[in-house]
Amino acid sequence: MKALLRQPAFAIALSVGVVLTILAIFAPWVAPHNPMEGDLLERLMPPAWQDGGSWQHALGTDVLGRDILSRLIHGARVSLAVCAFAIVLAGGIGSLLGIIAGYFGGLVDSLIMRVVDLAISLPMILLALLFGVLFGPSFINIVIVISLVLWSQFARMARGETLKVRANDYIDLARSAGASSFHIMMHHVLPNVAGSLIVLATLQVGTVIIMEASLSFLGVGVPPPLPAWGSMIAEGRSYVVSAWWLCIFPGLAVMLTVLAANILGDTLTDELNPALREGRR
């Protein structure tokens, strides 16, 4: 970890990640204004450093006079929460299925992996969009939709890693000592495959944030008035000529977050598992 921190890119990315997480968790206390209430008399105010701007609203206000900075901070909360839940859900289910497939092999393995192949061969974004529209935008739905897209990669990786672990003598020893399959999977396989799965999860953070932003942009993300970066970009789109800050700041927020996540993921990959890089999409 110390060696990692000596890489400036990693250290900066980690700090960005930590700051964002803190901002997201403490959003209601950190944000200067209520992100959902605006003053129509103060609508479309430019950022503070431009003519007509004020430090009251450092990054300006939107069409309804809501403070952009506060909406961005609360947006971080939405993005990171969707990300955390989706990765835990998809990672949990995918890894479990992958470990089961790799551990038992045979029919169970072929069955699970066929489903994984199918999931990978379908353009999941269309299903996600369909699902989002049909079941209505809500926090839980967007988490489910994103998990549907993600789980197959975790299953694939968990299976591959389990196959490697399974070849070890200690697995046979545990079995001859009378340990149940469940016990072996939980206590001997999982700890040994967890490292690779965590790296994969880090690599997915950027993908999930962009996916969440895209779905919010298309109007099937977290429902308004909750601020999400994607829907802020969509709202600001028609004002890009007269009020560029509506659209530019949330985009920069997405970019910064994804950049930090990608740098962290790449560095961890190189450090812990160089072979993984080949399979990176």
What whole-number distance in Å separates Cα of residue 188 and Cα of residue 162? 10
- Secondary structure letter of residue 186 according to DSSP: I
Task: Compute the least distance from the CB of residue 116 to another protein, in Å.
Answer: 12
What whole-number distance in Å separates Cα of residue 223 and Cα of residue 248? 21
**To 5 degrees, how large is the angle CA 111–CA 113–CA 117?**
120
**Interacting positions 88-127 with another protein (CB under 8 A):** 117-118, 121-127
Q: Is 223 in the site for another protein (CB under 8 A)?
A: no
Q: Tokens 């469940």 appear where?
A: 182
Using CB under 8 A, pick the residue from 218, 223, 272, 273 that binds another protein. Answer: 218
**Interacting positions 186-215 with another protein (CB under 8 A):** 206, 210, 213-214
What whole-number distance in Å separates Cα of residue 263 and Cα of residue 258? 9
Using CB under 8 A, pick the residue from 103, 131, 151, 154 that binds another protein. Answer: 131
Binding mask 44-83 for another protein (x = CB under 8 A): ----------------------------------------
Residue 211: CB atoms within 10 A of its CB come to 24
What are the backbone angles phi and psi of residue 192, rounded to the nearest 5°? Answer: -85, -20
Using CB under 8 A, pick the residue from 263, 264, 267, 268 that binds another protein. Answer: 263
What whole-number distance in Å separates Cα of residue 31 and Cα of residue 71? 8
Task: Compute the least distance from the CB of residue 156 to another protein, in Å.
Answer: 13
Task: Compute the least distance from the CB of residue 122 to another protein, in Å.
Answer: 6
What whole-number distance in Å separates Cα of residue 35 and Cα of residue 72? 8
Residues 31 and 73: beta-carbon distance below 8 Å:
yes
Q: Is 240 in the site for another protein (CB under 8 A)?
A: yes
Interface with another protein (CB under 8 A) = 117-118, 121-127, 129-131, 133-135, 206, 210, 213-214, 217-219, 230, 233, 237, 240-241, 244, 247-248, 250-251, 254-255, 258-259, 262-263, 266, 277-278, 281
